[in-house]
Amino acid sequence: MKNIEQLVRPNIWALKPYSSARDEFVLDDDGTQAEGKEQTLVFLDANENPLGSVGDNGANNRYPDPYQRKLKEALSPIKKVATENIFLGNGSDEAIDLLFRIFCTPGQDRILITPPTYGMYQVSADINHVAVDKLLLNEDFSLPVAKVLEQLGKAEYKMLILCNPNNPTGNAIASTAEFEQILQAFEGIVVIDEAYIDFADFDSMTTLLDRHPNLVVLQTFSKAWGLANLRLGMAFASTEIIGLLNKVKPPYNINGITQELGLQAIQNVAQKEAFVATIRAQKEWLYTQLSQFDFIEKVFPSETNFILFRTTQPNELYNYLVKHQVIVRNRSTQPLCAGCLRVSVGTEAENKRLIELLNSR
């Protein structure tokens, strides 16, 4: 990897971040606003409303902790990542956007992605006016590692963004050893998006963080944790990269209610695991059922909470399902995904409904 300063946009490297009221005054050494002491302290530093909040809605008149320290402390043992290597964003989409803003100079820098993959990488690049080169996955949706390495040598890429397990295909695209080979060879930042890691049969690449300061691992509360509505995403990386994300983010990017509800969720890992077990069992059932239709040519194995399948009539099937109030994702225009629909694993009743509709077609 290059020296981090060589990778960061010069204006971001030089940036003096906004210093919020809660940055300048902290109560404890660890920065938390200790309970109890709040009563004796008079907070006249942040122009908040001293009387309370309008509405009976659990809101709070005080600005939230800009660094979400309690949440990170609770998350650290679960993820086996030190708090200083954790960043929390307003969805992982915020982390993706911030990484572009930190590393990629608009109109100048380029990144590499490997379609078919998650659509936000391209959108975020376009918003930031960053060029995107694309190298297709293999026909079996695995990562063509040798070709990726060759391509990375052809231009001064700032970032490589990979999704594992991959959306919309559902598979693991490479082994840990292969990711490590790329991390070693590439001079820039490698982002591995693990939005579906809770459903996968393999471990997170966070175990590689110690050895690879150019690695960023993204995870989210939107899928297995069932908190898509909250907007809470995680990025795990070197302290240098986390420092840059903190410098560039809006000061209070995670609101107080989200911090509170995120903390409650983390204290109930067992429920998340129970959800995962149920969804995995339902996925097996769906996989078997979908494999029996003669108009479905291929059902792709999945390490996620969705299944991609190839049919002879994707648009007809999609419209037929919509007509009967079942909405799936039509991925048939994506590269390597001709004829493909993607279906999220639903409840037992929802999955049965889908199969019934396919049966009575």
Ligand X SMILES: *Cc1c(COP(=O)(O)O)cnc(C)c1O
* Interacting residue ranges for ligand X, rule: CB under 6 A: 91-93, 118, 163, 167, 193, 195, 220, 222-223, 228, 233
| Min dist. Cβ of residue 308 to ligand X (A) | 12
H or E element that contains 177: helix 176-185
- The DSSP letter of residue 211 is T
Q: Quick one: 167 or 332, whose CB is closer to ligand X?
A: 167
Peptide bond into 165 cis (omega under 30): yes
Q: Quick one: 33 or 169, whose CB is closer to ligand X?
A: 169
| Min dist. Cβ of residue 304 to ligand X (A) | 8
Amino acid at 183: L
Among the listed residues 34, 11, 72, the one whose alpha carbon sits nearest the alpha carbon of residue 242: 72
Q: Quick one: 66 or 170, whose CB is closer to ligand X?
A: 170
Per the listing, tokens 């300048």 go with 24
Q: Quick one: 170 or 358, whose CB is closer to ligand X?
A: 170
d(CA 305, CA 98): 27
| Min dist. Cβ of residue 154 to ligand X (A) | 26
- The DSSP letter of residue 138 is P
Q: Quick one: 83 or 344, whose CB is closer to ligand X?
A: 344
Q: Quick one: 1 or 190, whose CB is closer to ligand X?
A: 190
d(CA 28, CA 229): 32
Residue nearest to ligand X (CB): 91
Q: Quick one: 41 or 228, whose CB is closer to ligand X?
A: 228
Per the listing, tokens 């803003």 go with 101
d(CA 207, CA 197): 13
Q: Quick one: 212 or 231, whose CB is closer to ligand X?
A: 231
| Min dist. Cβ of residue 360 to ligand X (A) | 31
Q: Token digits for 302?
A: 């999945």
d(CA 83, CA 87): 8
**104-124 burial code (b ≥16 CB/10 A, e <16):** bbeeebbbbbbbbbbebbbeb
Write the DSSP string, 249-295.
Answer: S-TT-S-HHHHHHHHHHHTTHHHHHHHHHHHHHHHHHHHHHHTT-TT
| Min dist. Cβ of residue 227 to ligand X (A) | 9
Dihedrals phi, psi of 56, to nearest 5 degrees: -100, 80
Amino acid at 32: T
Q: Quick one: 33 or 206, whose CB is closer to ligand X?
A: 206
| Min dist. Cβ of residue 40 to ligand X (A) | 39
